[in-house]
Structure 1
Amino acid sequence: MSSDGEKVRTSGEVSRPEPVLPTVNPAADKSEPPKAALHPAFYVSTWIALSSSVILFNKHILDYAQFRYPIFLTTWHLLFATIMTQLLARTTTLLDGRKTVKMTGRVYLRAIVPIGLFFSLSLICGNVTYLYLSVAFIQMLKATTPVAVLLATWGLGMAPVNLKVLLNVSAIVVGVIIASFGEIKFVFIGFLFQIGGIIFEAVRLVMVQRLLSSSEFKMDPLVSLYYFAPVCAVMNGITALFLEIPRMTMGDIYNVGLLTLLANAMVAFMLNVSVVFLIGKTSSLVMTLCGVLKDILLVAASMAIWHTPVSGLQFFGYSIALGGLVYYKLGGEKIKEYTGQVHRSWAEYGNTNPGQRRLVIIGAVVIGFFLFAGALAPSYAPDSVDRVRGALGGATAGRF
């Protein structure tokens, strides 16, 4: 009897509503609006701007500003990168990826140092090239880098020889050869330095690929710079100590400007930082197309800033090389797929914004015409070109 009463009383107690303290803050339980993220176009444009700025900046310092010490300049870039990566590793999370890398003294000597050697050689050759060749022609020659990487992959036994793939990249080689025949200011020693830089860079990339094939050594570009910059700075510094520093004076540095050299190193380092964000926010397709767009913009910038003569034959050859590069990177099926997507997007854009699409087409035609006319002008109207340059006050020769 008593137990029944307890049951009734208990059930009655449960049924009575009593105030209960909340276990979760209602305000905090509401989902916060997502933080505004930057559009991928921001990272793309930043990378293109920084990459182009480094190349144009180096050309300006080494050639037009008459600072004829490319090895010293490379050493300064690497020393600055070493200092900055050490600071970032201690003050930010950008380099936390290094904590997952099982780096030992043995691995550093057997892997990092040899890769650093080829990295140094590629940087030295690349900077020396600016003393002899135009930025436009250098970018055209760089289109052969995928071919060199492919051959280095076969040569180092990373992949079997594939004649079909070799045929696919042959268009790149043919296009660059045509562009080389069309180069007006061809300097053979500069050509050899650039080819050497491409070969060293290809071997470095294949060695890095072999190192990163193990999950223990996955590194983003900034972490790679953290490990490679110190050894490369030492190697380049020793080289510069024997080849350039004995004939350098403080007057050479003051002539360029300490702030200019500091800004140059900062832009070069920011380029490495931008690559990390670009890889994380975009795809390999975007990277490939951005590289092609950057090369085209650099050719145009070289023509606009320093009036670099580019012949029609060079345009023709470089177009073939770029087409072959895109085909090699993406493949025929992917190109058809993406072309269809672009065509549909372009049609939809035309239906919704017919006036803007018309302006885009007109602008592209006008820009293409002026680029083509600028390329042919030195050959069919050299006197007129000289008069225009004189009216512009020598444009930007020797300074930005």
Structure 2
Amino acid sequence: MARWTTMLDGRKTVKMTGRVYLRAVVPIGIFFSLSLICGNLTYLYLSVAFIQMLKATTPVAVLISGWALGVSQPNLKQFLNVSAIVVGVIIASMGEIHFVVIGVAYQIAGVIFEALRLTMVQRLLSSADFKMDPLVSLYYFAPICAVMNGVVALIWEVPKVSMVEVYNVGFFTFFLNGLCAFMLNVSVVFLIGKTSAVVLTLCGVLKDIMLVVASMMIWGTQVTALQFFGYSIALGGMVYYKLGFEALKGYAGEAGRQWAEFGARKPILRKLSIIVMAVLFIFVVFGGLAPTYAPEYDPSKLASEVTNHFKGNAAAAAAAGAE
């Protein structure tokens, strides 16, 4: 892109030196790699629903890291609001049935590393010392991210994986995975450049809710009433932080007016919508009480199965080589 297009011409105005690269760019790659490692390891110990609940603390970590690195100024109102989010997550953690300390530790570490990475990316985009445009910032820190992930993969992943596993997945699947990751990183840096790292993390609220619901419906993950209550507090705190009371009040009033107009125009369709939403609510909330025949999602069992699978493939490859 730098050679054949003008999309990265902004790099010519950036005074990039070895010292600046080591101080501002290399840490992003390191934190990105550590965030991916810790985030992936978490899935071997905790349920998908509980992981999303713990991820609700990410805006808090981003806010604190922004204060620590001088990207944003401390604010008492913000602090009280994010404290409510933390309280909600703590309540949700108390209600977790399968609480694994090492899994929670990995997730907390992943949240911290991700917060530091996002804050440093924001500083790279908005600080007067750097002031890069989003694509130029990605141009600089993407190679160090690739190197860090490559080193980690060579040490821990490559020795455990045979080419048979790679062929089974398919090179096209790997290509699509990499393309999606690239487009995600591009969208992330553009969003941070236009808003802030905190807003980026708050935009993941809908995704987190959908993942929790999907985990309950697909794997039959149990979500206790205490978890539901705590997660509701955390989500409410995040929405309030993003919109504010006046905006929420305005949206609620506008929604009420739109709903009343809809009922006046199409009363039958409105009644049908109420019935559908009621059935969906009952299905989601009380679906966990019904017996499930789907395979239960057991992270520890999954981890052992994956390990045994790799060992079996390695033994088969060794036997084939001996023949």
Q: How does 1:251-290 map to 2 (within 5 A)?
A: 251-273=164-186, 290=203
Q: Does 1:230 align with 2:170?
A: no
Counterpart residue number, 2:68? 155
Amino acid at match of 2:59: P
SS at match of 1:355: helix
Deviations 1:210-263 (A, max 9, x none): 33333552433x543332221011112222322333333223333444343333
Amino acid at match of 2:149: N
Q: Does 1:370 align with 2:283?
A: yes
CA contact (8 A) 1:139 1:299 kept: yes
Return the alpha-carbon distance in structure 1 between the equivalents of residues 80 and 120 of structure 2: 24
CA contact (8 A) 2:125 2:137 kept: no
1:139 to 52, 56, 71: 52
Counterpart residue number, 1:166? 79
Shift of 1:206: 2.1
Counterpart residue number, 1:71? none
Counterpart residue number, 1:217? 131
SS at match of 2:116: helix
Structure 2, unpaired ranges of 5+: 296-301, 306-323
Q: Does 1:205 align with 2:110?
A: no
Counterpart residue number, 2:242? 329
Q: How does 1:283-302 map to 2 (within 5 A)?
A: 290-302=203-215
Counterpart residue number, 2:228? 315
TM-score, normalising length from structure 1?
A: 0.64
Counterpart residue number, 1:359? 272
Choose 152-161 or 273-282, whichever is displaced more.
273-282
Q: Cα 1:242–1:280, aligned 2, differ >3 Å: closer, same or farther?
A: closer
Return the alpha-carbon distance in structure 1 between the equivalents of residues 275 and 119 of structure 2: 44
Shift of 1:180: 1.4
CA contact (8 A) 2:89 2:230 kept: yes
Return the alpha-carbon distance in structure 2 between the equivalents of residues 361 and 90 of structure 1: 56
Q: How does 1:42-61 map to 2 (within 5 A)?
A: none
CA contact (8 A) 2:59 2:202 kept: no
CA contact (8 A) 2:95 2:227 kept: yes
Counterpart residue number, 1:182? 95
Shift of 1:146: 1.0
SS at match of 1:146: helix
Counterpart residue number, 1:65? none
CA contact (8 A) 1:120 1:236 kept: yes
SS at match of 1:217: coil
Choose 118-127 or 210-219, whichever is displaced more.
210-219
Q: Does 1:389 align with 2:294?
A: yes
Return the alpha-carbon distance in structure 2 between the equivalents of residues 283 and 210 of structure 1: 10
Counterpart residue number, 2:314? none
Counterpart residue number, 2:310? none
Shift of 1:295: 1.5
Return the alpha-carbon distance in structure 2 between the equivalents of residues 367 and 308 of structure 1: 18
Counterpart residue number, 1:242? 155
Q: Over alpha carbons, which structure has the higher Rg?
A: 1
Q: Cα 1:204–1:280, aligned 2, differ >3 Å: closer, same or farther?
A: closer
CA contact (8 A) 1:101 1:219 kept: no
Q: Cα 1:124–1:103, aligned 2, differ >3 Å: closer, same or farther?
A: same
Shift of 1:173: 1.0
Amino acid at match of 1:219: D
Q: Cα 1:360–1:241, aligned 2, differ >3 Å: closer, same or farther?
A: same
Choose 224-233 or 264-273, whichever is displaced more.
264-273
Return the alpha-carbon distance in structure 2 between the equivalents of residues 151 and 120 of structure 1: 21
Return the alpha-carbon distance in structure 2 between the equivalents of residues 320 and 334 of structure 1: 19
CA contact (8 A) 2:122 2:197 kept: no
Return the alpha-carbon distance in structure 2 between the equivalents of residues 132 and 156 of structure 1: 32
CA contact (8 A) 1:285 1:330 kept: no
TM-score, normalising length from structure 2?
A: 0.77
CA contact (8 A) 1:102 1:217 kept: no
Return the alpha-carbon distance in structure 1 between the equivalents of residues 264 and 20 of structure 2: 59
Counterpart residue number, 1:350? 263
CA contact (8 A) 1:145 1:198 kept: yes
Q: Cα 1:176–1:284, aligned 2, differ >3 Å: closer, same or farther?
A: closer
The Cα RMSD (Å) is: 3.4
Counterpart residue number, 1:77? none
Return the alpha-carbon distance in structure 2 between the equivalents of residues 160 and 277 of structure 1: 22
Shift of 1:112: 0.9
Shift of 1:320: 1.0
Choose 177-186 or 194-203, whichever is displaced more.
177-186
Choose 152-161 or 134-143, whichever is displaced more.
152-161
Q: How many residues align?
A: 296
Return the alpha-carbon distance in structure 2 between the equivalents of residues 306 and 327 of structure 1: 31
Return the alpha-carbon distance in structure 1 between the equivalents of residues 6 and 283 of structure 2: 47
Shift of 1:276: 7.3
